[in-house]
Amino acid sequence: MIVTVTLNAALDVTYRIDQVDWNGVNRVQSPHRRAGGKGVNVARVLAALGHDVLVLGLAGGPTGQALAIDLTASALPHALTAVDADSRTTLTVTGLSGTTLFNEPGPLVTPEELGRFLDGFDEALTGAAAVVLSGSLPRGVPADFYATLAARAADRGIPALVDADGEALRHAPTGRPSIVKPNLEELARASPAGATGPERQAELMREAGAAAVVVSMGHDGLVAVTAEGTWRARMPYRVAGNPTGAGDALVAGLAMGVVEGTPWPERLRLAAALGAAAVATPVAGEIDHGTFQDVHRRINVS
């Protein structure tokens, strides 16, 4: 079982509109609403590929109830910790002119609520093959909380993968995660002044405690800096579509590689292909299998 943690879970709303008139009325062609947040998206991809998952997170208010209902309807096992404040909604507007994302900040979480979450997290580690910690932190959650969770998993011999930004990413290596997965911009923001280049910045994260760092670079592919060496996965072409959720599908591929013990070259090929296949779908948490098969066989890893 792979446990995914989404502390700032959301009700994801996606509007598909060919052309947006920001000063007028827009007719939404195909609205879509479902439980989201980065860890939920990771769980959706893993479940679609046949892996047992458990979704953990915080959920509160009417929006939190909608999240739980949708997870149940999607056959995604979950153990959400209740909070008093209402969970957030995100809005993605996608069309011919590109994709725009609106993210609410999320609920204010109390120390007592975090304590209940930690109790549930420790219980969920029993039987877990890996843990994925991803997404933003809601208000009230300490910046080093992912490091805390990763360390609890590491103490029990369970690999943790962290996909975060800002201070959460900066603290993450101290929890000894198996993989930290920033994109280029996130890596640069979390790196010390004067550290230039993704390979050097990734190596500094390894020195701080992360076993491996995988840097996603969009259509330019991936760079993985590990104890076994550095690899680069190059994409054969740019996939058009909605990039929201591409990083989550990529993380799902990395988690599969960790659990299955896949060598790094094939692990990166799988992760990069899943990321591309997610771009080809209209909503996060899904992959286009035709795109996956075509891209996967063409990716070059060196």
| Rounded mean pLDDT, 133-145 | 96
Of residues 172 and 95, more confidence is placed in: 172
- Is the pLDDT confidence value at 164 over 80? yes
d(CA 37, CA 41): 6
Identify the pLDDT of residue 181: 98
- Is the pLDDT confidence value at 234 over 80? yes
The 3-class SS string of the chain reads CEEEEECCCEEEEEEECCCCCCCCCCCCCCCEEEEECHHHHHHHHHHHCCCCEEEEEEEEHHHHHHHHHHHHHCCCCEEEEEECCCCEEEEEEEECCEEEEEECCCCECCHHHHHHHHHHHHHHCCCCCEEEEECCCCECCCCCHHHHHHHHHHHCCCCEEEECCHHHHHHHHHHCCCEECCEHHHHHHHCCCCCCCHHHHHHHHHHCCCCCEEEECHHHCEEEEECCEEEEEECCCCCCCCCCCHHHHHHHHHHHHHHHCCCHHHHHHHHHHHHHHHHCCCCCCCCCHHHHHHHHCCCEEC
Q: 99 — phi, psi (to 5°)?
A: -130, 130
CA distances from 45 to 22, 73, 109, 246 (A): 33, 16, 28, 10
| Rounded mean pLDDT, 80-104 | 87
pLDDT tier at 98 (50, 70, 90 boundaries)? confident
Domains of the chain in sequence order? 1-21+28-41+50-130 (3.40.1190.20)
- Is the pLDDT confidence value at 147 over 90? yes
| Rounded mean pLDDT, 202-230 | 94
| Rounded mean pLDDT, 256-264 | 97
| Rounded mean pLDDT, 46-73 | 96
| Rounded mean pLDDT, 27-45 | 90
pLDDT tier at 115 (50, 70, 90 boundaries)? very high
What pTM was estimated for this model as a whole? 0.92
Identify the pLDDT of residue 93: 85
Catalytic (active-site) positions:
248
- Is the pLDDT confidence value at 109 over 90? yes
Identify the pLDDT of residue 252: 97
Q: Average pLDDT of the chain?
A: 93
* Candidate ranges 18-27, 99-108, 111-120, 276-285; pick with highest mean pLDDT: 111-120
pLDDT tier at 4 (50, 70, 90 boundaries)? very high
Q: Could you tell me the two tokens for 282?
A: 């209209």
Identify the pLDDT of residue 166: 94
* Candidate ranges 25-34, 100-109, 125-134; pick with highest mean pLDDT: 125-134
Of residues 242 and 47, more confidence is placed in: 47
- Is the pLDDT confidence value at 133 over 80? yes
- Is the pLDDT confidence value at 29 over 80? no
pLDDT tier at 92 (50, 70, 90 boundaries)? confident
